Amino acid sequence: MKTPLSLLLICCFSMATMAIKPFPSDPKATPEAVKLIRNMMASQHKGLMFGHQDAMAYGTKWYSEEGRSDVKDVCGDYPAICGWELGHLELGTVYSLDSVYFDRIISGIKKVDAMGGVNTISWHFTNPLTGGTAWDVKSNKTVASILPGGEKHELYKQYLDKIAVFMLSLKTDKGKFIPVIFRPFHEHTGSWFWWGKNLCTIDDYKALWRFTVNYLRDTKNIHHLLYAYSTDRFTTEAEYLERFPGNDLIDQVSFDLYDRGADYPATLANCAKLVSKIAADKGKIGAVSEAGGPIAKNTEWWTKVLLETLRPYHLAYVLVWRNTYNPKRIMAFGPYKDCPSEQDFIRFYNDPKTLFMKDVKKIFKK
């Protein structure tokens, strides 16, 4: 019996769409992590989520006020994705290097998740070899020293044990693990962190990722994390992928890029174009994992620079960095009440391309 061509085509098409249904790199990912990657990959074709680092923890003029966010003060809605920082957790302290209590981070993550938003976690962690900060680049032996067989390997495992305890405490009221995007070893195409380009070999950087993910997944049995690979600025696809540790480890391809001059729109456009292509080719989430601009001076930065540059691309989110809590000296990458670019941020918010908490609540599948 002959099968009509159209039927064959429909079969092939549905098999193909089934085959590419996104699944996290972790074969044992929890249903919630699976749902998160699917929601984010679908939403990147509907709009661009707006994110803010430490959005719910503090703002320019307030610290730890329940339910408050500088972004919400301006536009009436929360960011769709909130960033949190775990630096100093590895030391066993009760608050982070940005002075946020880890208990508060846990309750904030729960709150964002319950509201329908997304959480992402960065980790500017102590140099295990020197005891200095994440920015201590005196030694080019740190990464090698924490790999299996290295003199600081056991210490690194102790750091990861603390990360594991934290991750395993992220549960909903119903006892389900809350999925989060974990983004360690970022901006490695620069050399300002001890895991940066000039401080370790390509193989050691990749081995660091592999050891870390395997340890958290297999030894610690953690399956609710999506892992993000995040470069700084780059020019070509080959450069972007030079230290990419593997499709079996990574769920998100992203980059960090701050506006530090006139080349910004062109550089941002090139990085966004390449990362959205790599994300599509690999079946991963694509994102601008950190951004920030001169929002006090360029009062149309939100719409004219950030939004118009990113509009053509299919990326899940852009997250702007933190609004430091310091009422006397404003240092903010996000908007805040009465800031010079407040009106422009409201236009950015009202544009159909941008997605905030209320939007993802509607478009994410439950």
Q: Which residues bind ligand BMA (CB under 6 A)?
A: 85, 87, 97-98, 124, 321-322
Q: Which is nearer to ligand BMA, 191 or 343 (CB)?
A: 191
CB of 61 to ligand BMA, least distance (A): 17
Length of the chain: 366
CA-closest candidate to residue 132, choices 85, 90, 185, 164:
90
The answer to whether 86 and 80 have CB atoms below 8 angstroms apart is no
Torsion angle of C-alpha atoms 308, 314, 317, 318, degrees rounded to 10: -30
Closest contact distance (angstroms) between CB of 100 and ligand BMA is 9
Q: Which is nearer to ligand BMA, 182 or 349 (CB)?
A: 182
Smallest separation (angstroms) from ligand BMA to the CB of 211: 23
Residue 302, token pair as written in the block: 């939100």
Q: CB of residue 86 vs ligand BMA: minimum separation in angstroms?
A: 9
The answer to whether 275 touches 307, Cβ cutoff 8 Å, is no
Name the 3-class secondary structure at 18.
helix
Specify the residue, 58 or 240, whose C-beta has the smaller distance to ligand BMA. Answer: 58
Cβ at position 91, least distance to ligand BMA in Å: 14
Asked whether 345 and 298 are in contact (CB, 8 A), the reply is no
Q: Which is closer to ligand BMA, CB of 87 or CB of 179?
A: 87
Contacts for 275 with CB less than 8 Å, ≥ 6 apart: 240, 253, 254, 255, 286, 287, 288, 315
Q: Which is nearer to ligand BMA, 321 or 356 (CB)?
A: 321
**Alpha helices, H only, the chain:** 5-19, 31-43, 70-75, 102-115, 142-146, 153-168, 202-214, 237-241, 264-282, 308-310, 342-350, 357-363
Residue 314 DSSP SS3: coil
Q: Nearest distance from residue 85's CB to ligand BMA, in Å?
A: 4
Q: Cβ closer to ligand BMA: 188 or 322?
A: 322
Residue 145 C-beta: closest distance to ligand BMA, Å: 23
Work out how close the CB of 144 gets to ligand BMA at its nearest, in angstroms, rounded to a whole number. 24
Nearer to ligand BMA, 229 or 321 (CB): 321
341 Cα distance to chain centroid: 25
Kindly report the CA angle at 232 between 227 and 234, in degrees rounded to 5?
Answer: 115
Report the C-alpha gap between 4 and 67 in whole angstroms.
Answer: 59
CB nearer to ligand BMA: pick between 105 and 272: 105
Scanning 149-307, the segments in alpha helix (DSSP H) are: 153-168, 202-214, 237-241, 264-282
